[in-house]
């Protein structure tokens, strides 16, 4: 869903995977905003729903509109600051599941390509060796489906650039199925949604320091 006009309404309740007085971790559905959109009709989002009960609630990190899976909301400013510090220090472990076009031959690898916004074509991003920000993704094959010409990958982003996983997989010749921003026509036609899901997260509780480890299996 490359352009955001008025989105279809999500009437259901958000699935909570973890909750306490400091934060909540939800399983964000695909085609639902992490934070409010620019248009008034697109105000509904993960963040805005929690602000109804906790005015200081803010998304500690975001998922693309099309991406499903684990998302964390801090319920007050101090929790937000401490969680975001962990993201900045790259001590948060994250794992995504993606179904990509074609058969990936190697079992593991990493993609190290700098990314920057493609200003004339926003919201698209692009690889740029001159001005792009360092972007690193590690990956491993989970399974290969020769009959359907696709591969399931475990993606481990070391950095957190916008659209990083979509661009990196495309750049190695294996775009994510259903990606309307970066996939070619054959890969786009394979799925009505982007087959990318935030499956796992691990970080320290912002107030107690205790480890939090959450898993949400991919729905595809």
Which residues are designated catalytic? Answer: 64
In angstroms, the Cα distances linking 184 to 2, 6, 83, 162, 195 are 14, 25, 36, 19, 14
Please give the structure tokens belonging to residue 125.
């991003």
Query: Which contiguous run of DSSP H or E holds residue 168?
Result: helix 164-171
The single residue listed with the structure tokens 């939800």 is 26
Q: Helix or strand or coil: residue 151?
A: strand
Tokens representing 151 are 């591969």
Q: How far is CA 18 from the centre of its chain?
A: 18
Residue pair 73/57 in contact by the 8 Å Cβ criterion: yes
DSSP string computed for 95-112:
EEEEEEES---SSEEEEE
């Amino acid at each position: 869903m490359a352009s955001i006009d008025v989105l279809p309404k999500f009437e259901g309740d958000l699935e909570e995977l973890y909750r306490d007085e400091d934060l909540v971790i939800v399983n964000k559905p695909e085609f639902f905003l992490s934070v409010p959109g620019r248009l008034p009709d697109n105000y509904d989002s993960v963040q805005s729903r929690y602000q109804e009960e906790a005015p200081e609630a803010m998304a500690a990190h975001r998922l693309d509109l099309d991406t499903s899976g684990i998302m964390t909301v801090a319920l007050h400013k101090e929790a937000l600051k401490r969680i975001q510090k962990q993201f900045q220090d790259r001590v948060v472990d994250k794992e995504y599941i993606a179904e990509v076009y074609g058969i990936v031959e190697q079992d593991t690898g990493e993609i190290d390509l700098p990314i920057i916004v493609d200003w004339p074509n926003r919201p698209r991003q692009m690889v740029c060796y001159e001005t792009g920000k360092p972007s690193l993704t590690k990956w491993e094959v989970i399974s290969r489906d020769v009959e359907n010409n696709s591969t399931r990958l475990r993606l481990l982003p070391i950095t957190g650039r916008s659209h990083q996983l979509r661009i990196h997989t495309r750049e190695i010749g294996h775009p994510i199925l259903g990606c309307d921003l970066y996939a070619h026509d054959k890969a786009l036609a394979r799925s009505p949604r982007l087959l990318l899901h935030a499956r796992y997260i691990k970080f320290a509780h912002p107030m107690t320091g205790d480890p939090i480890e959450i898993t949400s299996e991919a729905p595809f």
